[in-house]
Structure 1
Amino acid sequence: MSSDLIPDFELASTSNKLFRLSDIKSRYLVIFFYPKDDTPGCTNESQQFRDLYPEFVQMDCEVVGISRDNLKSHEKFREKYDLPYDLLSDNGETVCELFGVIKMKNMYGKQVRGIERSTFVLDREGKLYNAWRGVKVPGHAEEVLTFIKSISAV
């Protein structure tokens, strides 16, 4: 378990909201960074968090997704897949840099800068509890939920 304190940040969010880390009132916050709206892996991951969302809420845990896509793209993605949580737009990459998720990746033989699929769990004070980097989608949301259940029992 890490004791890193994440500095407060704010990003534009779906539902015409401004997300501010310091405004989170739930006991825990899951932030998952994903490369791009409406792509196969990102859609699958988002749907897994959607399907388990009621269980996260039961554990007093909020979930948000972050990518560099704009809000219009996020709103379409959220509506298309009926995502119950907000998506945050970080097209300036400030929060991506804060969490160190921007990486050089190979895409079709070319080096491109992009988001490394990563998930972080924070408490309401902004303390980092756990981080998963280089996430493989299958079963990941379930793994995060299992972790939340384990720390909620403490």
Structure 2
Amino acid sequence: MSETSTVKIGKRVPNLSGKTDSDTTLALKSLREKWLVIYFYPRDATPGCTTEAGDFRDLHSRFRKHNCEILGVSRDSVASHARFRAKQELPFQLIADVDETWCKAFDVIHEKVLYGKRHLGIVRSTFLIDPQGILRAEWRKVKVPGHAAAVLEQLTAE
């Protein structure tokens, strides 16, 4: 995945659409006029991903006060997302990017090393998009502790 990212700070993000955890199609353009946080994570129900989802869940009402929606994206299936969202009581939708369209558009798939083995995987990343669809901030190679709060802090500063 050596493509260059199609998203750049100060530029409009592509009008992507994808299947949600409830097996409906969501188009990014339907969220215009709101701030949007899109966070990419490797896998449902893994420790770091569960913690990150829980942090965004716990701050969700504060994001909503700033007219901001949150979307979680991974390559997991609709069914996996539905189970994960229900178990974690997530108040926001998860996008099943099984064909990697969103991942490629945001350039989040890179070589990773796990237990000495190399593989391509999602690098934990978050993007803040303004109500006109313009990318305002990005976080790549995210460390989970304190991350959701840092995104909220950036949103409130915009």
**TM-score, with normalisation over the residues of structure 2?**
0.93
Report the equivalent of 1:48: 55
Opposite residue 38 of structure 2, the aligned amino acid is I
2:110 aligned to 103, 107, 110, which one?
103
RMSD in angstroms over aligned alpha carbons?
Answer: 1.2
Higher mean Cα deviation, 93-102 or 121-130? 121-130
Q: Is 2:137 the partner of 1:134?
A: no
Aligned-residue offset at 1:14: 1.8
CA distance in 1 between counterparts of 2:54 and 2:43 reads 14
Report the equivalent of 1:147: 154
Query: Which aligned pairs between 1:106-125 and structure 2 lie closer than 5 A?
Result: 106-125=113-132
Aligned-residue offset at 1:5: 1.3
Opposite residue 142 of structure 1, the aligned amino acid is A
2:113·2:119 contact (CA, 8 Å) conserved in 1? yes
Report the equivalent of 1:91: 98
Matched positions, count: 151
The 4+ residue runs of structure 1 with deviation greater than 6 A are none
CA distance in 2 between counterparts of 1:26 and 1:150 reads 18
- Helix, strand or coil at the partner of 2:72: strand
Q: Is 2:63 the partner of 1:22?
A: no
CA distance in 1 between counterparts of 2:87 and 2:33 reads 26
Tell me the alpha carbon deviations over residues 5-59 of structure 1, each in whole angstroms, 9 at most, x when there is no partner. 1110100012332110100044200000000000000000000000000000001
Tell me the alpha carbon deviations over residues 50-90 of structure 1, each in whole angstroms, 9 at most, x when there is no partner. 00000000010000000000000000000001000000010
Q: Is 2:19 the partner of 1:12?
A: yes
CA distance in 1 between counterparts of 2:134 and 2:101 reads 18
**TM-score, with normalisation over the residues of structure 1?**
0.95
CA distance in 2 between counterparts of 1:26 and 1:54 reads 18
Identity of aligned residues (%): 44
CA distance in 2 between counterparts of 1:125 and 1:58 reads 18
CA distance in 1 between counterparts of 2:48 and 2:64 reads 24
Opposite residue 11 of structure 1, the aligned amino acid is G
Opposite residue 138 of structure 2, the aligned amino acid is A
Q: Is there any run of 5+ residues in structure 1 with no aligned partner, and where?
A: none
